Structure 1
Amino acid sequence: MTPAEFLPGTLMMVDIPGPTLDDDTADFLRRSGIRSVCLFGKNVQNAAQLRALCRDLRAVMGEAALIAIDHEGGAITRPDFWPFAPSAMALGAADEPALTEAVNAALARQLRSVGINWNFAPVLDINVNPANPVIGERAYGDDAARVIRHGRAALAGHAQEGVAACVKHFPGHGDTHLDSHLALPAVQKSRAELESGEFAPFRELLSLAPAVMTAHIVYPALDPQHPATLSRAALQGLLRAEWNYDGVIVTDSMGMQAIDANYGRGEAAVLALQAGADLVMALGRREVQEATLAAVGAALRGGALDPQATAQSVRRLEELARQAPAAADETVNPQADAPLLRGAWAQALSALGTPTPPPVGSRVLLVAHRTPVRENVSEAAADAETLARELGEIYDVTLIPFESPDELDWAALRAQDLPVLLATTARHRHPALRGVQPDLHLALYNPYTALDVDAPAVVTYGFRPEARAALLAWLRGEAPLSGRLPFTA
C-alpha cells in the first residue's frame, strides 16, 4: 500500500460515545481506517465492562490498535474501581524515584489488566507558575532536576509492565496562566531560558519515551505564529532534526479551545501533520471527526501531506502497538497494589509551617466546599459531607459548608472559640482564601493554596480516599509528615 492509499483515519485518534462499542461506531472506525481511540469517564463503568470494550475495539481496529487513556494518578484517573495512585507532585514530595517507578508500574498494570495499551503519562511539565490553572499537582515539582529523575522513573515503570507511556505537554505547560482547554496560551521566554527550563526534561528523557504529546501553546522563541502542535519548527525542527526523536508524536485534543476557537478542525489537523505530528487527536462530535477525516483524506490525495513522512508516521504507530499490544492480562490483580499506593500517599504528606492536630475527641469547626465539581481533565474532589463524616471518626465536627469562599464570615467563625479547620478541594486557587486564618489548613487538592491561607497546612496533593486516609492517620498521631514541598514556598 502506498502512502496515498492509507485511509485518513490511520493518522487520527477519536473518542467514542459510551461504555460499549455500538454497531454504528464500530462501522465508522472500520470504514475510516481508525486504529486509535482515547477513552474517558463516559467509557468506564467497571473492570469487566472496560475489558470487554477494549476487546471489541481491538477486534475492529486490528492488531495495530492503540487504546489510550489519561491515567496519571491523583485527580487524573478515570476508573474509580481500582486503588488510586498518588499525583505526580505527591511523588515529587516523597522524592524517592524507586517509589515513583513502582507506582507507575502499578498504574500500567491496572491498564494492562483490561487491555489499554497506551497511557498519556507522565507529565514532564515543570510547574514554575503557582497560578497555573491546569497543571499544578500533575507536575513532579518546580525544578527540572526533580522532574527529570521522577519522569525517568515513571517511564521505567511503564516499560517494565509493557504499557506505552507518553510524555507531555511538549515543549512545556508549566509556566502558563491560561488553560489551553479554554484559551491559547503563550510562553514568553528566550530560547536560552527554555533550554535550561521547559525543554530540559523532554530533551533528557526522549530516548526513553515511546511517545510525546504536544502542547497547544505558542512559544515565540521557537515559532511566533503557531502553537507547538501546529509548528514545524517545534516538531520537525526541534524534536526530529535537533533531538533526533523517532518515537510517536501525538497532538493534545484538537477540541480544546486553543485550537478549536482559532482554526478549523480539518485545517488544524493537516497543519499538525505537516508540522511533524504522527497522530491527530480528533476528539468530539462525529461531525468534527468526519471533518477531520475529510481534510486529512484530501491532503493525502492532493499531495499536501508528504508521502514519505506519512509512511514514517504509520510505521511509528504500528511499532508502538507492536511493542505494547492491546491485549488484556487477566492474571493481573490491581487490588494487590493497594498497600503500595496507600503507602505512597502517606509518604507524600507535607507540612507548611508547623501544623498541629487538635486533640482527638475535641470539638472542631470544619469549613469545606459543599459540592466540588469536575474541572476540565480533573475529576471532582471530595465533598464537605464526606470530609465531615471521615473527620467525625476523630473529632466532634460542626460542618460549615460553602459553595464559594466569598460567603464565609471568618470573624463569626473565630468568635465561636473552637479550632477551625479549613479543607480546600478546588483545582484553582481562590482570591477569597488569601489571608484567611483557620487554625489548620487541610490542602487536599491544589497544593499552592497552602501559600494563600495564613495558617499552618498539611498538604496531601490530592483528595482520593487514600490521601484522606493518610491525613486521618496524621490527625490521630499515627503517622509523620515525611514529604517535602516540591516547590518554593
Structure 2
Amino acid sequence: MIPACQNAGALLMVDLPGPVLDDDTREHLRRHAIRAVCLFRKNIENFAQLAQLTAELRLVMGPDALIAIDQEGGGVVRTTFFPFPPSAMSLGACGDPALAFEVGAATARGLASLGINWNFAPVLDVNSNPANPVIGDRAFGSDPQQVTPLALAWLSGSLSQGVAGCVKHFPGHGDTHLDSHLALPRVDKTRGQLENCEFMPFQRAVSEADVPAVMTAHIVYPALDETRPATLSERVLSGLLREAWNYGGVIITDSMGMKAIDDHFGRGEAAVMALAAGADMVMALGRRSAQEETLQTVERALAEGRIEQSDTRRSRLRALARRFPSEKRAYDGVQREQDARIMQAAWARGLTTYRDPQFPPPGASVTLVTLAEVPGEYVSEAGLSGAQLLRHLETLYDVRAHLVSGEVPVDWDALREERRPVILATTTRQRFPGWRRARPDLHLALWNPYAVLDVDAPALLSYGSRPEAVQAVLGYLRGEVAAGGRLPVLLETRSAEHPAQKP
C-alpha cells in the first residue's frame, strides 16, 4: 500500500461543490489525504462564511494545507467584500513597480485574514495578440520589458504579507487566439521568438526573484514539443524549467478540466502525464466523478512505477505550505481603509485617453449604448450590466439608454439624428465585429483595451469595471480625476487574422 504522504491525494488540488464543507466532501478530503483546495465564487458568500470554511478546511487537511484562490485583480477576483484590486493592465498603464508592490501587498492582506495562503497570481503572460480571448487585461502589457518588473513587484508585495504567489501561464499564453478553456491552442513561434517575448518574464522571474510556484499552460509550442502541450511535456517542464533554468519551486498545472486537456487527453491519464513530465501538483477540478477518476488513475500509476514516488516533490509541496502557513491573520478597519485607498488610487492612475476624447459637461443630455448584461466567462466574473452603468451615468447626465446584446444591430444614423452626444460603453472582454459599424461621439472602453480598434471614436480606457474603476471614470467625467495612464499594449490589426473566439 502506498504511504499516505505519497498517495495520489497528496499530489492533487481539488475544488469544493459549494460554500459549506458538507460531510461527504469532508470525508472525500480525509479519505484521500487531499491537502490542497482551490476556492471559487461558488464557495464564497461573505467574510464570516469564508473564514469558517477555511478554518474547517485547515482542520481536515492538516498543518500542510494549501488553500488557493485566483485573486488577480480586475475581472478575476473571487471575493466581493474586499476592495477590488486593479487589473494587471491597469497597473501596466500606471507603469509604477512601487504601486504594483502596494497593490500586491494589499491584495494579500485580505486573503491572509481568511487563512488563504496561495494566490494564483500574478500573470506573467505578454499579451502580444490583440485577439487573445482569455488574457487581455490580465496581463501587464504587450512588452516583456514592461511586464516583468511590474509582475515581480506585485509578487513581492504578496510575499511580504505571507501569501504565496504563482506566476502563470508558463511558458506564455499571451499570443493565442484560442481560449484553452475551450480548445487546444498552438503558438507557432521559433525558439528565438519565444525567448525574446514569452519566455523573458518567466526566465527572469525564476532566475532573479523569489518565485514560490509556477503554473503551466495548456498550449502546444512546436518549437519545444511538437505534440504535447506544455502541461504534459517533459521537454518543457523538466528540460526547460527545471534543468535549463534551474527552477526549484513548485510546478502546478492549470485546471485539467479545461477542454484543451480533457477533450484531447482525458483527465486521469493527463494527470499522470503531467506528473511524469515534472509537475508537482495537478489541478483536478470539477465534478466528483472526475476527481475520483483522476485519483484512481494516479494511484495506479504510482503503484506501477509510471510516476516516480519522489521525496523531492513531496518536500517542495511541504516547504510551500510551511513557509506560507494557512493561518488567519488580523485585518483591522484602519488597514482595510488604507488598502481601499490604495486600490482606488491605483485604478484612477491607470485611466488612459485615446485620440483626445472630449466628454459632455455634467448635466448634458446624452445617449448611452451598451450591453444589457455581461455574464461571467470561465475564469472571469460577471461584468458591469447596462442597468448598473446607466445608474452611475445618471448621476452626471440626462441619459437615454439603448441596452443591447452584442449581436443586435444599432441604427447609428437614427441615434445621431437625435442630436445628443452618443456614448458607446464596451464592458466585456469579448470583441464584437459589429461595433466596427458604430459611430459614437465617445467611447468608454471599460474592459478590453483592444476594443478601441473596433470603435472609430475617441476613448477613455479604464481596463476594468469594478466599483473603484467606475468611480475613477465618473471622477474623470466630472473633471476631478486626471487620466495619466499610458496605453500598455501595441494596437495592431492582427485580430483580423485570428478573430477572437467567443465562449
Report TM bin, short chain. Answer: over 0.9
Kindly provide the amino acid, as one letter, of the partner of residue 343 in structure 2: L
Kindly provide the amino acid, as one letter, of the partner of residue 312 in structure 2: Q
Query: SS of 2:142's equivalent?
Result: coil
* Equivalent residue runs for 1:219-368 within 5 Å: 219-307=221-309, 310-333=310-333, 334-368=336-370
Kindly provide the amino acid, as one letter, of the partner of residue 486 in structure 1: P
Preserved CA contact (<8 Å) 1:170 1:202: yes
Query: SS of 1:434's equivalent?
Result: helix
Shift of 1:415: 1.2
Q: Distance in 2 between matches of 1:167 and 1:160?
A: 16
Preserved CA contact (<8 Å) 1:38 1:69: yes
Q: Distance in 2 between matches of 1:291 and 1:230?
A: 18
| Superimposed CA distance per residue, residues 132-173 of structure 1 (whole angstroms, 9 cap, x where no aligned partner) | 000000000000011111011011101110100000000000
Q: Distance in 1 between matches of 2:332 and 2:248?
A: 31
Q: Distance in 2 between matches of 1:6 and 1:32?
A: 11
Q: Closer, same or farther in 2 for the Cα pair 1:483/1:5, shift >3 Å?
A: closer
Shift of 1:434: 1.4
Preserved CA contact (<8 Å) 2:4 2:33: no
* Equivalent residue runs for 1:22-33 within 5 Å: 22-33=22-33
Partner of 1:14: 14
Partner of 2:101: 101
Q: Distance in 2 between matches of 1:313 and 1:463?
A: 40
Shift of 1:407: 2.2
Partner of 1:190: 190
Kindly provide the amino acid, as one letter, of the partner of residue 302 in structure 2: L
Q: Distance in 1 between matches of 2:2 and 2:46?
A: 41
Q: Distance in 1 between matches of 2:224 and 2:342?
A: 42
Q: Distance in 2 between matches of 1:405 and 1:335?
A: 41
Partner of 2:142: 142
| Superimposed CA distance per residue, residues 244-280 of structure 1 (whole angstroms, 9 cap, x where no aligned partner) | 0010000000000000100121100000000000000
Query: Which runs of no fewer than 5 residues in structure 1 stay unpaired?
Result: none
Preserved CA contact (<8 Å) 1:113 1:332: no
Query: Which runs of no fewer than 5 residues in structure 2 stay unpaired?
Result: 492-503
Kindly provide the amino acid, as one letter, of the partner of residue 352 in structure 2: S
Query: SS of 2:255's equivalent?
Result: coil
Q: Distance in 2 between matches of 1:3 and 1:235?
A: 26
Preserved CA contact (<8 Å) 2:252 2:279: yes
| Superimposed CA distance per residue, residues 211-264 of structure 1 (whole angstroms, 9 cap, x where no aligned partner) | 000000000000001000000000000000000001000000000000010012
Preserved CA contact (<8 Å) 2:5 2:314: no
Shift of 1:406: 3.4
Preserved CA contact (<8 Å) 1:4 1:300: no
Shift of 1:438: 0.6
Q: Distance in 2 between matches of 1:125 and 1:331?
A: 31
Shift of 1:452: 1.3
Partner of 1:41: 41
Which 4+ stretches in 1 moved above 2 angstroms? 1-5, 330-336, 404-407
Query: What's the TM-score once normalised by structure 2's chain length?
Result: 0.95
Partner of 1:157: 157
Q: Distance in 2 between matches of 1:378 and 1:158?
A: 21
Query: SS of 1:252's equivalent?
Result: strand
Shift of 1:405: 4.5
Query: What's the TM-score once normalised by structure 1's chain length?
Result: 0.98
Query: SS of 1:305's equivalent?
Result: coil
Q: Distance in 2 between matches of 1:220 and 1:335?
A: 49
197, 216, 240: which one pairs with 2:218?
Answer: 216
Q: Closer, same or farther in 2 for the Cα pair 1:163/1:332, shift >3 Å?
A: farther
Kindly provide the amino acid, as one letter, of the partner of residue 482 in structure 2: P
Shift of 1:6: 1.6
Preserved CA contact (<8 Å) 1:349 1:460: yes
* Equivalent residue runs for 1:62-101 within 5 Å: 62-101=62-101
Preserved CA contact (<8 Å) 1:84 1:341: yes
Kindly provide the amino acid, as one letter, of the partner of residue 69 in structure 2: I
1:450 paired with 2:452, answer yes
Q: Distance in 2 between matches of 1:405 and 1:96?
A: 38
Kindly provide the amino acid, as one letter, of the partner of residue 33 in structure 2: G
Preserved CA contact (<8 Å) 1:4 1:301: no
Q: Distance in 2 between matches of 1:154 and 1:5?
A: 33
Preserved CA contact (<8 Å) 2:445 2:462: yes
Query: SS of 1:339's equivalent?
Result: helix
Shift of 1:336: 3.6
Q: Distance in 2 between matches of 1:87 and 1:129?
A: 18
Mean CA deviation greater in 15-24 or 329-338: 329-338
1:112 paired with 2:112, answer yes
Q: Closer, same or farther in 2 for the Cα pair 1:4/1:25, shift >3 Å?
A: closer
Shift of 1:368: 1.0
| Superimposed CA distance per residue, residues 63-99 of structure 1 (whole angstroms, 9 cap, x where no aligned partner) | 1000000000000001111111100000000111100
Q: Distance in 2 between matches of 1:78 and 1:11?
A: 24
Q: Closer, same or farther in 2 for the Cα pair 1:356/1:405, shift >3 Å?
A: farther
State the number of aligned residues.
Answer: 487
Shift of 1:4: 8.9
Q: Distance in 1 between matches of 2:279 and 2:173?
A: 18
Q: Distance in 1 between matches of 2:296 and 2:50?
A: 30
Partner of 1:391: 393
- Give aligned-pair identity as a percent: 56
| Superimposed CA distance per residue, residues 34-60 of structure 1 (whole angstroms, 9 cap, x where no aligned partner) | 000000000001111111111100100
Q: Distance in 2 between matches of 1:30 and 1:469?
A: 46
Preserved CA contact (<8 Å) 2:365 2:420: yes
Preserved CA contact (<8 Å) 2:109 2:331: no
Preserved CA contact (<8 Å) 2:427 2:446: yes
| Superimposed CA distance per residue, residues 100-146 of structure 1 (whole angstroms, 9 cap, x where no aligned partner) | 00001011011001010000000000000000000000000000011
Kindly provide the amino acid, as one letter, of the partner of residue 476 in structure 1: R
Q: Distance in 2 between matches of 1:154 and 1:318?
A: 24
| Superimposed CA distance per residue, residues 325-367 of structure 1 (whole angstroms, 9 cap, x where no aligned partner) | 1111134543441111000000000011001110210100011
Preserved CA contact (<8 Å) 1:211 1:248: yes
| Superimposed CA distance per residue, residues 400-430 of structure 1 (whole angstroms, 9 cap, x where no aligned partner) | 1101243211111111111000011111111
Q: Distance in 1 between matches of 2:331 and 2:158?
A: 17
